[in-house]
A and B are shown apart, each in its own frame.
Chain A
Amino acid sequence: MELALEKMDDVTVVILPGEELDASNAKEFKGDVAPLLQPQAKVVLDLSQLRFVDSSGLGSILSCLRQLTTTGGDLKLCGMSQRVRALFELVRMHRIFDIYTTRDEAVRAFRPEREPQP
């Protein structure tokens, strides 16, 4: 899985490639994203290309969040389609994550002085 990365100040934006994150590639995603989950890392995961995520894919994103938050970092999500958002709501994960509409909003949310409401 080729993750596209973009650095915006101290925030790493990860653009998830492909339309699906499921049992077939969740493990690969976890392996590829692992080097980015450094202590205190600020990561935005851009899901704008994603059309389908299953529980395995959700589990891999949750695993990133857990790893980051236990080491002082954080993960924010952005660019979710209505369908993907509905899947997050279906398994009641939408409150666990900070979800933003655009990438800029998600990056800005890491700056405490201008933190918008998710």
Chain B
Amino acid sequence: MVSNETMPILSNARGTPTVTAQVEGPKRPKPFLLRPEDACAFVIFGASGDLTSRKLIPALYNLACQELLPPGFAVLGVASSPMNDASFREHMCQRVKHSPEVLVFRQKLWDEFVPALHYIMADFADAAGYQQLGQRLREMDQEHGTNGNRLFYLATSPSFYAMIAKNLAQHGLVSRRSGAAGWTRLIVEKPFGRDVESARRLDEMIHTVFDEEQVYRIDHYLGKETVQNILAFRFANSIIEPIWNRHYIDHVQITAAETLGVEHRGKYYEEAGCLRDMFQNHLFQLLALVAMEPPVRHYGQSVRDRKADVLRAVMPVSAQTLAEVAVRGQYGPGERQGQPVPGYRQEPDVAPDSSTETFAALKLLLDNWRWANVPFYLRSGKRMPQKLTLIAIEFKRVPHLFFAETPQDQIEPNVLTIRIQPDEGIALQLGAKLPGPELYLRQMQMNFSYGEAFGEFPATAYETLLLDAMQGDPTLFNRSEAVELSWQILEPVLEAWQATRAGTSFPNYAAGTWGPARADALLARDGRAWKNATTLPRFYVTEADT
């Protein structure tokens, strides 16, 4: 008997999930992932950059190993660094060989994959570069059979997005309608704008060239297995949904903590700060997945509509309430793993009097039926004690406790912890009787670990997302509206913080701690506390992440 775990599961007419495929017998099961049908040219602007060699090419190589790239697939790298096909291939080979992202490096599989890699040296601002690009793409249509299908990936600084889109159109490299001439799609990396106005302007510019259906705004968080599992956990388990609301849930915490400082990204970070870098995309996406209503189906607009509803429901932060719902911080010198580390202002490319926040915490309320008066506390910071991304759902306390030996205030509420990283999994904290003649209660954990249940496969976020883009499935990509809504939520905070930059008492937390005291006060005012190392299950041991 084959376990259902490995079988594709569909619903029958009555809506009951059924296993539809058997391993043995005449009908063989369909593979979990399907190979895209359309050949295409995958054009990477910024191909000499870190993202290409660290994430994109390893992901494409993994897909090639699994026969998930369409026949006739080819990559064309575009950047200003002096390289040709041969040197680009060699550079990528060295990076893929030592990449922790690849399933396994096998020379035989690499040799099969590598003829698909091409490179042209071009300046993004130079018309000649786009003429060369057009010529090379036409040649690739002949050589590889890419059939005029183009997937453009902007792995460049955001300042080039508008320029590249405009030039692609001016040189006739964009088809707005798919047809005999092929389709064109555009993948855009975050950050998409830096406020409502700039995001809107960028959208308007891109929409003069591409229809919204052709634009795929990528946030690799959405491709993570554990992030996708939030919807599976909520909507594939009938015991969860009935308690997922204000009647049972006291509050929700979302934490994305990093142990690293700003490293070599000081220049970027000085302009961005924590709110723009983490909240507008990653944290708000997690918020949307936790709080959304059930979609009609897991495809296209349905999921994105429901996620947008959540962002639309976030109650605006006003100047009057700002101090009560938002906290910012910046790390000063401190310690990591017993070693002294510099403060933010001592990092390279950072102003010695910088007022950029490296930590932010927000308390948000959703103005809708399901979540009325349930606070969502979001925080993110650099140089914290643990690398940790998690969602903690704290349920309400029981209304009456009759265990005389255990005082009510010693019984913790149930907490469901969804660990996005590390040690991906889900834990539920429960009260249980201690063994012995007396009826003492203590907290225990029920734990589901991805690694133990499904094996330790390497991360697959980019594989999933690239495959979806090739197949024209936008479900896991951000829509224009959601990006704008995210900026709308943040804008009052960004503006107020900008206006009071001079008044910050930075640094206000030491590297290696959980942020400023005011972040603790944010929850303490409501009689709550952050789920930190001391309050989390044993799975969170301090680890030496890099």
- Which residues of A come within 8 Å of B, CB atoms? 22-23, 26-27, 52, 54-60, 62-63, 65-66, 69-70, 82-83, 86-87, 89-93, 95-96
Contacts and interface: CB of A to CB of B under 8 A. Distances in A.
A55 B67 contact: no
B409 interface: no
A59 B454 CA distance: 7
Given A60-B455, A83-B24, A92-B67, A55 B105 contact: no
B453 interface: yes
A68 B24 CA distance: 32
B65 interface: yes
B534 to A, nearest CB: 28
A59 B457 contact: yes
Interface in B510-534: none
Contacts, number: 78
A82 B300 CA distance: 37
Given A22-B3, A69-B104, A95-B65, 14 more contacts: A55-B5, A59-B451, A62-B104, A63-B456, A65-B104, A69-B105, A69-B106, A70-B105, A83-B2, A86-B28, A87-B2, A92-B66, A95-B109, A96-B109
A83 B3 CA distance: 12
A95 B103 CA distance: 11
Contacts of A65: 104
Interface string B423-460: 00000000000000000000000000001111111000
Given A65-B104, A83-B2, A96-B66, A89 B31 contact: yes
B422 interface: no
Contacts of A92: 31-33, 66-68
Contact of B5 (A26, A54, A70): A54
Contacts of A55: 5-6, 454-455, 457
B23 interface: yes
B34 to A, nearest CB: 10
A91 B67 CA distance: 11
A6 B24 CA distance: 31
Contacts of A89: 31
Contacts of A22: 3
29 contacts: A22-B3, A23-B452, A23-B454, A26-B455, A54-B6, A55-B457, A56-B452, A56-B454, A56-B455, A57-B455, A59-B455, A62-B103, A62-B104, A62-B457, A65-B104, A66-B104, A69-B104, A69-B106, A70-B105, A83-B23, A87-B23, A90-B31, A91-B6, A91-B31, A92-B66, A92-B67, A92-B68, A95-B67, A96-B65
